[in-house]
Structure 1
């Protein structure tokens, strides 16, 4: 995805339990199903969603650093939307996730990078579980 790219949000699925989260699988995984309590190893890129449903400014990417990111699923180590989304993925899967503020950084934002009440877009690739 690139900055300025339009998102056809109507083609995204809604999370069954958390209807504010929308996602689209871009690569279907055929590995193990993630579960809370496991450690997920991912690559990701995050963007802001602009006001016209286009990809906004990129704010972070593990791929740019050429370093995977690991976190415990369900341990509140990451934003709520990540815990929910990654727990629904299989190893090998890549999905684009749209997280409204209540599943991201909410009214507080995150420093000077993510403004308050920002909707975020993440492309997440689940590489492995342990």
Structure 2
């Protein structure tokens, strides 16, 4: 079943930037600390295209989880005995998935935009993150490109639209030995409670460029674009958190004809609008092709971008 929904957007992806000034700062960027999703969300975009979802209301049906939606101060460990699991999977990598609700819809594919409702906790039961903290009904999440961590990508690949599950992610697939500041201690297992609400179709999909327009932006007043200033997050299936213009607070600039951006991204920027917020996936042919790019992009690898247009002159 397809229905229109309104979503809020979020920035928690992993990235790389291709201007000369970006490369100067690349070493510093590699050590940049990843932030939880709720720390970097700042948009409430317009509705986008269609969503594939199960034939029922997308809500948490288990009464014990209703409190998780409404109250992030609840301790998950204290109410975990109330969960009624219907199925279990232990992956080879060490991820544990226990389904509270399991549907018979299809599984998502790499490169699809998923709409999630989630709570993230530590093994002590303390909830540390969730889409409700951002006052978001759903979290938009592109599967397979390290938007959160490898544990999320792997776990969600086993779920289907309509599923509700408790996922336990080992530390090495989450935030590892470094942890995440004061929020997540080193070597901590992450507990993810997640509902997969639906799969959103791209706004545009042609010539190797897939675009989800999360915010449409304002019409450009200039006849011909001479400069575009924007924030960018980029990642690949193999590389995460290479550079983040949000973290460094250093937006970059594109001038039409500039060749140090891949062909597919130049095409998007040549039609940019102020205030646009886009998720973009470039096929390798319009990204960096068989050569790849330094140690950042492997040969024949797709690239995911999280783009926000700030200025268009």
If the length of structure 2 is used for normalisation, what is the TM-score? 0.36
Task: State yes or no: 1:65 paired with 2:134.
Answer: yes
2: CA distance between counterparts of 1:64 and 1:94?
19
Q: Deviations 1:12-47 (Å, cap 9, x if unpaired)?
A: 5302x42x1001010112333111111111010011
2:110 matches 1:40: no
Structure 2's unaligned 5+ residue stretches are: 1-64, 66-73, 201-313
Separation in 1, partners of 2:102, 2:132? 20
Name the CA distance, whole Å, in 1 between partners of 2:132 and 2:104.
Answer: 22
Larger relative CO (CA 8 A, sep 6+): 1 or 2? 1
Question: Residues 1-130 of structure 1 correspond to what in structure 2 (within 5 A)?
Answer: 2-3=74-75, 4-5=77-78, 12-15=88-91, 17-18=92-93, 20-50=94-124, 56-67=125-136, 68-130=138-200
CA distance in 1, matches of 2:114, 2:146: 13
**Secondary structure of 1:107 counterpart:** coil
The 3 A distance-change label for structure 1 pair 29 and 65 is farther
Structure 1 residue runs of 5 or longer lacking an equivalent are 51-55
Asked which structure has the greater CA Rg, the reply is 2
For residues 68-88 of structure 1, what are the alpha-carbon distances to aligned partners after superposition, in whole Å with 9 as ceiling and x for unaligned? 111211111111110001111
Structure 1 runs of 4+ with >4 Å offset: none
- 1:58 CA drift (Å): 0.9
2:280 alignment partner in structure 1: none
SS of 1:24's partner is strand
Name the SS for the 1:106 alignment partner. Answer: coil
Cα distance, 1:114 vs. partner?
A: 0.7
Between stretches 60-69 and 109-118, larger displacement belongs to 60-69
Q: What is the alpha-carbon distance in structure 2 between the residues aligned to residue 126 and residue 64 of structure 1? A: 18
Partner residue in 2 for 1:53: none
Looking at structure 2, the residues matched to 48 and 58 of structure 1 have their Cα atoms a distance apart, in angstroms, of: 7
3-state SS of paired residue (2:161): coil
Q: CA deviation at 1:128?
A: 0.9
More deviation in 65-74 or 85-94? Answer: 65-74
Q: Which has the higher strand share?
A: 1
Distance (Å, rounded) in 2 between the aligned partners of 1:57 and 1:81: 19
